[in-house]
Structure 1
Amino acid sequence: MHNLLRRGYQLLLALFAVALVYSFFLRGYCPANWKSHLDLAAFILISAFVVVNALWVYRRHFRYRDLQMDQVDAMAGEEFEHFCGYLLKRNGYKHIKVTQASGDQGIDIIAEKNGKTCGFQCKRYTGFVGNKAVQEVWTGHNFYKLDEAVVLTNSEFSDSAIELAESLGVRLVDRPRLKRMMRRLPS
């Protein structure tokens, strides 16, 4: 489905380019009886391109804006990672990169803030998040040579995970902190 959408968009982009070339350069060379049809086709293609891009921008920038925690709890793991990336962007982080799902070395997102490069492990859980998440983000922190390691979750951390994070210097963002980050989103 994703490839089909990408190919459809590439076709629309190519047709948009043809419509622009016609509108700006070739219109004067066309026979008079073709102009009304070509003008209409160019208008439709340019309008479709503008509408598709406007919808994409709207969806990309506003799809997570009004979410409640129960909707976050229902997300799949990869969607939660993208949601966390959106939250980080809206909370002042820059150069946000969501890593590939497999082989990420324990880091789901890499982002920068205040000159520091941070690695984030995103865990959408229903129970307590344990030591494994802290160990994974610490390993990724060392692998990518990052300044800071953070575990983000929609849940709570176990006592042993909190203790391990404190000893390693890993920052933990639990459910209440995640809610605070969500409140900072523009409405």
Structure 2
Amino acid sequence: MSISLVLIWFFLRRRKRNERLRSLLKTGLKNPYRFEEFAREYLREHGFKKVRVTRKSKDFGADIVAKKRGRTVVFQVKLRSSAVEKSVVKELVAAAYIYGAVEVGVFTNGEISQSLEKELELLESAGGFIKKVHVVKNITPEEL
């Protein structure tokens, strides 16, 4: 019986978190700064630690700085109605260098362009200081 209660508690807790994320996303789809707040919470729910949104300006190309398995990760967060283009790679590399990150990521509500996808693959396989690339795309309220 106690196992059943624990399972019910976990289920209800998860459902409440998903409802909170869905609500944040709905407001975030109207405001890029709220979308960054949603991205922060989404990343926390998906295993990232010490997730923080950077300043709105003079952030050196990083919108979010987080930790995963002891490694620093910088994210570019893009609220877009069109695909995110490869120009974000320069900002990611610069931000990674400045923040001491060895992992980078793109977080968007939409798609990423094929050219960006190729650039990110090259960045990850180049053997430089970037060890891993994270891509979170097509985030919609229905997904949560």
Smaller-chain TM-score bracket = 0.7 to 0.9
Q: Which has the higher contact order (CA 8 A, sep 6+)?
A: 2
Of 47, 62, 86, which aligns to 2:41? Answer: 86
The structure 1 segments of at least 4 consecutive aligned residues displaced by more than 3 Å after TM superposition are 61-64, 66-69
TM-score under structure 1 length normalisation: 0.57
Of 162, 174, 184, which aligns to 2:137? Answer: 174
SS in 1 for 2:87: helix
Asked if 1:66 corresponds to 2:22, the answer is: yes
Of 59, 67, 78, which aligns to 1:123? Answer: 78
Q: Is the 8 A contact 2:50 2:66 kept in 1?
A: yes
Question: Which of the pair is proportionally richer in helix?
Answer: 1
Report the aligned-residue RMSD.
Answer: 2.5
Q: Which runs of 5+ in 1 are unaligned?
A: 1-60
- Correspondence for 2:31: 76
Return the alpha-carbon distance in structure 1 between the equivalents of residues 22 and 106 of structure 2: 23
CA 118–66 in structure 1, closer or farther in 2 if over 3 Å, else same? same
Return the alpha-carbon distance in structure 2 between the equivalents of residues 134 and 72 of structure 1: 27
Return the alpha-carbon distance in structure 2 between the equivalents of residues 78 and 128 of structure 1: 19
TM-score under structure 2 length normalisation: 0.72
Count residues in correspondence: 119
Structure number with bigger Rg: 1
Q: Is the 8 A contact 1:64 1:83 kept in 2?
A: no
